[in-house]
Amino acid sequence: MNAHEELVRITNLRVHFPVRGGIFRRAVGSCKAVDQVSLVLGKGQTLGLVGESGCGKSTLAKTVVKLVEPTSGSIKFKNQEIAGKRAQNNFRQNVQMVFQDPAESLNSRMTVGAILEEPLEIHKLVEKNLRSKRVVELLEQVGLPASAADRYPFEFSGGQRQRIGIARALALQPELLVLDEPVSALDVSVQSQVLNLLMDLQSKLGLTYLLIAHDLAVVKHVADIIAVMYLGKIVEIGPAEEIYLNPIHAYTKALISAIPIPDPTKKRKRVIIPGDVPSPIDPPKGCAFGHRVGASLYPKSVGMKFNMEEISTGHSVLHCPCCI
C-alpha cells in the first residue's frame, strides 16, 4: 500500500440517523448506519466494499461525497479535512458518484448532451462554445457514438444508460469515483461490458474507485482492497486476494461460502449461517454476528470494545474473542 500516494483517509467515521416515533416525532433512538469505520484509499486503487443489504454501504458512500454529514469522525481527501465543513469547489469536482439505477439517476427530460454539459456549466469549467466538443469526448470515452448527445436517456438500454451515468461523473475530471452498485441492475453480458469500461478508464485516467457491490465475485475481480461491512462496521479489510484466500472473520468466511459457484462439478459444503442481518436501530449488545448465529461464546463479547487488529500487512480484522 505504501506505493500509493494516499488519497482518502477515513477515521472513526460514524453516521447515526435519528429514529423518530410517537405523535411528536421525537427522536426515540438512533440508527447506527455507519459505526466507527476507518479506512485508507491510495491514489489509483480500487477499494471494494461488500456486505448485505442495510449494512451501511450507501450511507458510507454518500458521506464520502458529502451527500450525508457524518455524526463524528474524520474524512480526509488529499490530507484536507472535509467532514463537517462546507465542501470546497475543488472537492466537489474531484469526487463524483455513480448510482445503481441508471434510469432513475438521469433526468429523462434532458438530452444526453444536456445532461453531460450541465456539470461543465455549473462549475464553469469549459467555455460555452467548447462544451459540445467535450461532450463528444466524454461519450467516446465511455464507448457511445457522438450522435447519442441528441437523444434522450429512455432511448438507451440499461447498460448504455449506465455508460451515460459514468460519462457524467467523468465530466469534471474527478480523481475519485464513488460507484454505488454500478452493475447490479444490469444483465450479465452487459455487466461485463461496464466492468471492462471501468477497469479501462481507471488505467487510462489514473482514477481511484470506491466500489460498492453486494456481489463479491464482481468486487474480487476489480478491487485491490476489499472491505467487508456488517451492521455498520468494517469487520475485515485487506488485499483482495488475501481476503478471498485467507478470510479470518467468521462473517467473511460465511459470505464467501454463500456465493454460488458457476461450476457444477465443484460440489462443496456450503456454510449456511442462520438468521438475518440484525437491525442497526437496536443492535445486539455484543458482537453483532455472534448474536445472529447464536455463537456459544457470544455472551463473552457483550460489553467488549471491538478494535481492528492487523494480522498481516494491510489485512485487519475486527477482533472478537470467539470467532477468530
Near ligand ATP by CB under 6 A: residue from 55, 112, 177, 254: 55
58 binds, among Mg ion, ligand SF4, another protein, none (CB under 5 to 8 A by kind): Mg ion
Using rule CB under 5 A, residue 208 touches Mg ion: no
Q: Which is nearer to ligand ATP, 18 or 145 (CB)?
A: 18
CB 204: neighbour CB atoms within 10 A? 9
Using rule CB under 6 A, residue 48 touches ligand ATP: no
282: helix, strand or coil: coil
Give the angle subtended at the CA of 49 by the CAs of 317 and 79, to the nearest 5°: 85
* Residue (of 192, 230, 198) closest to 211 by Cα position: 198
Q: Which is nearer to Mg ion, 58 or 162 (CB)?
A: 58
* Residue (of 294, 318, 314, 297) closest to 306 by Cα position: 318
Sequence-separated (6 or more) residues with CB below 8 Å from residue 27: 18, 19, 20
Q: What Cα–Cα distance (Å) separates residue 42 from each residue in 46, 63, 220, 225, 296?
A: 8, 18, 17, 10, 39
Q: Which is nearer to ligand SF4, 45 or 252 (CB)?
A: 252
Least distance (Å) between residue 182 CB and ligand ATP: 13
Q: Which is nearer to ligand ATP, 103 or 125 (CB)?
A: 103
Least distance (Å) between residue 235 CB and another protein: 13
**Are 277 and 54 spatial neighbours (Cβ–Cβ below 8 Å)?**
yes
In the shown chain, the binding pattern of residues 211 to 250 toward ligand SF4, with x for contact by CB under 6 A and - for none, equals: ---------------------------------------x
Residues 244-273 that bind ligand SF4 (CB under 6 A): 250
Which residues bind to ligand ATP, rule: CB under 6 A?
17, 31, 33, 51, 53-59, 214, 280
